[in-house]
Amino acid sequence: MPETPKLLFLGSAAAEGVPALFCNCRVCREAAARGGPEIRSRTSYNFGGAVQIDFGPDSLQAWQRYRNVMCEVRHIVVTHAHEDHLQPSDLLYHGLGFASVPFRDGPLTIHGTAPTRARMEREMWLRPGESLDHRMEESKLALHEFHPFEEFELPDCNAVVRTFAADHAPALDPCLLMVTMNGRTVFVGNDSGVFPETTWNALESLRGKVEIDVAVLDDTGAFLGMPESPSPEPPYESNHMSAPAVIRTFDRLASAGLLAPDCIRAVNHFSHNGGATHRELCDFWEKRGIVVGHDGLSL
């Protein structure tokens, strides 16, 4: 494990990817023509090797691209059970007979809220009468269920996870995550609109106890709602964010004393429906001191 655990952006798109499935909008056409960081797979992250945040439909691609890092994964923490963040059937390939030589000893632990468990029950091909626990054991997987506003340790990698309610698909108990490993703290704010006040209360209670070194917010709607936006659509405030809500949220995190003095501020989880290419996002955000996520970015 490296001394300073890094946050690796395995993906940077919202649910449809960029260029998106079946879409021929301007953003998708320009992304396809330019390639490089304009091409986005669905958002997930690796933190410090041992911890993966979300396990979406592009996890195979992440394994193929970042194999050395992915071989260290011991825990997958699922923010919520939407399809772009959780692909339960691919977890079955962790079992013997699929992964014929296990990539390391010991189980892989999946951490998620109750709706994440429910989707795993539906989509992991349980035999008649079989329990999810049995299926998991057979696949050398373990399941740990958490709730919003919890704190739990991952002792085998010296990490602590804190969870907060997101403003997003309420039926899924979606969570924002704060993960501290070896003294470095990252905050993953997707998927969420403007944070609920209960979440602000919980965050503000951490003042003086923890400082965020890398803060990533949901910018699904790019800079909709700003004068520079190429699209006249209104800003995203609930369920997801665009620039006005992102800027306010970074300001409030800073005034709550939660950001380290040299905190890296980043945005991620972009939709082509936000109407901006990667190049346009960089033009907009970099002058405001904010890093634009892209596949393969390591912070």
Footprint on this chain of Zn ion (rule: CB under 5 A): 20, 23, 25, 28, 82, 84, 191, 272
Measured distance CA(148)–CA(161) in Å, rounded: 11
Q: Which residues have CB under 8 Å from 250's CB, separation 6+?
A: 215, 217, 259, 265, 290
Dmax over CA atoms of the chain, in Å, equals: 58
Query: Which lies closer to Zn ion via its Cβ, residue 28 or residue 175?
Result: 28
- Peptide bond just before 148 cis, omega within 30 deg: no
Query: Which lies closer to Zn ion via its Cβ, residue 117 or residue 272?
Result: 272
CB of 70 to Zn ion, least distance (A): 20
Query: Which lies closer to Zn ion via its Cβ, residue 162 or residue 272?
Result: 272
CB of 174 to Zn ion, least distance (A): 7
CB of 121 to Zn ion, least distance (A): 19
Query: Which lies closer to Zn ion via its Cβ, residue 189 or residue 225?
Result: 189
CB of 193 to Zn ion, least distance (A): 11
Q: What string of DSSP letters covers the chain?
A: --SS--EEEEE-B-TTTBTTTT--SHHHHHHHHH-GGG-BPBPEEEETTTEEE-B-TTHHHHHHHSHHHHTT--EEE-S---TTTB-HHHHGGGSTTTSSS-SSSSPEEEEE-HHHHHHHHHHS-PPTT--HHHHHHHTTEEEEE--SS-EEEEGGGTEEEEEEE-SS-GGG--EEEEEEETTEEEEEE-S-SSPPHHHHHHHHTTTTT--EEEEEEE-TTTTTTSTT-SS-PPPP-SSS--HHHHHHHHHHHHHTT-EEEEEEEEEE-B-GGG---HHHHHHHHHTTT-EEP-TT-B-
CB of 133 to Zn ion, least distance (A): 26
CB of 22 to Zn ion, least distance (A): 9
CB of 295 closer than 8 Å to CB of 40: yes
Query: Which lies closer to Zn ion via its Cβ, residue 135 or residue 269?
Result: 269
Query: Which lies closer to Zn ion via its Cβ, residue 122 or residue 207?
Result: 122
CB of 219 to Zn ion, least distance (A): 12
Query: Which lies closer to Zn ion via its Cβ, residue 82 or residue 135?
Result: 82
Query: Which lies closer to Zn ion via its Cβ, residue 82 or residue 294?
Result: 82
CB of 178 to Zn ion, least distance (A): 18
